[in-house]
Amino acid sequence: MTRALAMISGGLDSILAAKLIKEQGIEVIGICFRSYFFNEENAKRMTKQIGIRLEVVDFSKEHFEMVKNPNHGWGKNMNPCIDCHAMMMRYSGELLKKFDADFIITGEVLNQRPMSQNRSALDVVKKQSGFSDKILRPLCAKNLKETQMEIDGLVDREKMLDISGRNRKPQMALAEKWGIKDYPSPAGGCKLTEPNYSIRLKEIIDRKGDVTEKDLNLLRYGRHFVTENNTKIIVSRTSEEGQYIKQLISKNDLMFLTTKFNGAMVIIPEGNTPNEEDITLACRLAVRYSKGKDEELVEVKYGQVSTNFNNKKIVNSITQEELDKYNIN
């Protein structure tokens, strides 16, 4: 029996491509990639709707190294889509033997994204993957050169589609036909496409050579400030966000809290070397984002996480001008 590996991003296009090939009586196994910037949660939901098995591949470390310096550059934000797709295809190609599969399916649509899905970019991705003769794009196959899989009769070209451009009505109609109702927006779940996250990521890559997984996860939450001493200070925006940050921090992080007023949690993550000015600034940020922000002076306690916070400072709130100076997004 013919078998295909479908690259499942968690979006609508990739699941439609997989379903289109499954409808031809071909066994389809979903392949989803996990990195520091996206995960498999949407893919799990999507594959259940069309009844295919899902395999998850964690390529976080190699992917991050590529994100720092992609051969074909970044998109609008820090998204290196061409290099990312090629890397995923290479991984998928290397899995063909493991799963005894014949070819790879992707949900790419010609000209849907002007930079990463024009005809030239699609060809670059195929070539760079190292498995160009094994890649099939069912949603736009009729707009592309016939593949070896079609020539060999593994798939029926006439049963594939000729979707092109950014209009998603054909995909939405197909989803309705097949009863696929639960799918995310086209923006997807990749943090690298988000402007604020990308600003923070670029800043920490430029400032700090050894960026850790914890650093990358902390970029998702809070307000981020960097002092003149290159010390990172993070301030939670909501109590819910504070809970997420608490799950990421360790005993070596510094935490700052106002003693008499409810307010935000402020941290200086380990790996920074704060001086006295940095400590004072963190205290003043704690005041700014507390119920005591309008008081003339407020006491702030601080110390390493899970200690008694015996250190204290009495400070005033930070000014708007200072906020704008240190805020990195």
For the stretch 207-245, pLDDT in tens is: 987 899 999 999 999 999 999 999 999 999 999 999 999
For 140-152, the pLDDT digits (tens) are 999 999 999 999 9
CA distance 225 to 186: 31
* Cα dihedral sign, 130-132-133-139: positive
Angle at 53 between CA 52 and CA 57, to 5 degrees: 130
Which whole-number Å values give the CA distances from 321 to 100, 200, 326, in the listed order? Answer: 62, 20, 9
The values of phi and psi at residue 116, to 5°, are -105, -5
Residue 192 near residue 77, CB atoms below 8 Å: yes
Pairing of strands 53-58, 27-34: parallel
Q: Which ranges of the chain have pLDDT less than 70?
A: 111-121, 123, 186-188
* Bridge partner list, 31: 7, 55
pTM for the full model? 0.86
Q: Out of 3.40.640.10, 3.20.20.70, 3.40.50.620, 3.30.70.20, which CATH number does the structure's domain 3-190 have?
A: 3.40.50.620
What are the boundaries of each domain within the chain? 3-190, 194-326
What pLDDT is attached to residue 30?
97
Token duo for residue 206:
């430029």
Closest CA to 192 of 43, 8, 9: 9
The amino acid at 244: Y
Q: What's the pLDDT score for residue 278?
A: 97
Spatial separation of the C-alpha atoms in residues 173 and 158, rounded to whole Å? 19
Residue 118, pLDDT score: 66
Strand stretches in the chain, DSSP E: 3-7, 27-34, 53-58, 103-105, 135-136, 223-226, 232-235, 254-258, 266-268, 298-304, 311-315
Are the beta carbons of 49 and 15 closer than 8 angstroms?
Answer: yes
